């Protein structure tokens, strides 16, 4: 499909976005469905990201994915509480905002561990950033307890406020948290390329625990490698990336895209 004056524009905005796999994923789906649209990555480094997002809406952008560090600013622009990762403009220019991170993680979890509801009562989420919070909210109604451990304890306390079965843990309690959980979700930047991971206390995990890492560069993080060596079920970050993206695509185009095709394309893009 050639690009014309009618072609719809979509983008991921954040800082940095040069590493983002979202253009490959969404342009693949756009081609699958013969849509007249194009998806690009726009780095946004600004003291006033809200004005930039409003301007993109004025330019007639159809939809945005929003990533670190602008998810809270996006929520303010869309007039919703918390943090969002999807913005959607109607033909008339009306904006709606959504957060598909939590549900995207749930879909990835169900895909990788279809019996997780029988296995998981106690969850440990490492990280109280936008992603960790979204996952905590999505998991909370389906489990007994959600513990959130974060380097900055005050942020963990903020994250558990309003989630009745969630408790904040101090970083010193990481080992205790690992030992008690049936599902551990690593949702910080630790282990990402360029961000060394600590020596995660995987030796303390319960037999039968599920270990998920939402980092996807590299796909096999040190945490997943250690958990796999212990024989635990591991879930990498690609599933969440694809499922949160599929939910966004459906919000923009009303079409449910092909998950397996996206996985193939992204694995090819991630291959060394």
Question: Does 190 contact ligand NAP by CB under 6 A?
Answer: yes
CA dihedral 181, 185, 186, 192 (to 10 degrees): 140
Angle 49-58/71-78 helices, nearest 10 degrees?
50
Q: How far apart are CA 182 and CA 167, in angstroms?
A: 16
Q: What angle do CA 44, 148, 83 make, to 5 degrees?
A: 30
Candidate residues 87, 214, 223, 232; the one interacting with ligand NAP per rule CB under 6 A: 214
Question: Does 240 contact ligand NAP by CB under 6 A?
Answer: yes
Question: Does 187 contact ligand NAP by CB under 6 A?
Answer: yes
**Phi, psi of 220, deg, nearest 5:** -100, 95
Number of residues that bind ligand NAP (CB under 6 A): 25
Question: Does 188 contact ligand NAP by CB under 6 A?
Answer: yes
Q: Name which of 1 and 197 has its Cβ closer to ligand NAP.
A: 197
Question: Does 131 contact ligand NAP by CB under 6 A?
Answer: yes
| Shortest distance (Å) from residue 30 CB to ligand NAP | 19
Question: Does 155 contact ligand NAP by CB under 6 A?
Answer: yes
Question: Does 219 contact ligand NAP by CB under 6 A?
Answer: no
8-state DSSP, 171: G
Question: How many CB atoms are located within 10 Å of the residue 236 CB?
Answer: 19
Question: Does 192 contact ligand NAP by CB under 6 A?
Answer: yes
Cα dihedral 163, 166, 172, 177 sign: negative
Residue among 6, 71, 121, 261 flagged as catalytic: 71
Candidate residues 75, 77, 88, 128; the one interacting with ligand NAP per rule CB under 6 A: 128
Residues 7 and 38: beta-carbon distance below 8 Å: yes
Catalytic residues, which ones? 71
Query: Binding residues for ligand NAP, per CB under 6 A?
Result: 68-69, 101, 127-132, 150-152, 155, 187-190, 192, 214-216, 237, 240-241, 244
């Amino acid at each position: 499909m050639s690009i014309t004056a009618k072609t719809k524009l979509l983008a991921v905005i954040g800082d940095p976005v040069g590493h983002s796999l979202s253009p490959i994923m969404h342009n693949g789906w756009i081609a699958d469905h013969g849509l007249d649209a194009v998806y690009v990555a726009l780095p946004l480094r600004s003291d006033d990201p809200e004005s930039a997002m409003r301007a993109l809406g004025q330019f007639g952008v159809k939809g945005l994915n929003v990533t670190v560090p602008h998810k809270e600013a996006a929520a303010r622009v869309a007039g919703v509480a918390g943090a969002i990762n999807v913005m959607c403009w109607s033909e008339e220019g009306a904006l709606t905002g959504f957060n598909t991170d939590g549900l995207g993680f749930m879909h990835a979890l169900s895909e990788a561990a279809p019996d997780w509801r029988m296995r998981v009562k106690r969850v440990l989420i490492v990280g109280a950033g936008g992603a960790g919070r979204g996952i905590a909210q999505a998991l909370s109604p389906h489990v007994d307890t959600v513990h959130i451990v974060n380097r900055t304890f005050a942020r963990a306390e903020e994250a558990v406020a309003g989630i009745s079965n969630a408790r904040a843990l101090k970083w010193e309690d990481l080992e205790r948290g690992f030992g008690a959980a049936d599902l551990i979700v690593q949702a910080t930047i630790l282990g990402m390329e360029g961000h060394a991971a600590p020596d995660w206390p995987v030796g303390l995990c319960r037999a039968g625990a599920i270990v998920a890492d939402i980092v996807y560069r590299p796909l096999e993080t040190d945490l997943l490698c250690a958990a796999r060596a212990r024989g635990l079920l591991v879930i990498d970050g690609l599933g969440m990336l694809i499922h949160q993206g599929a939910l966004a695509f459906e919000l923009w185009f009303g079409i449910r895209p092909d998950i397996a095709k996206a996985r193939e394309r992204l694995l090819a893009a991630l291959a060394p």
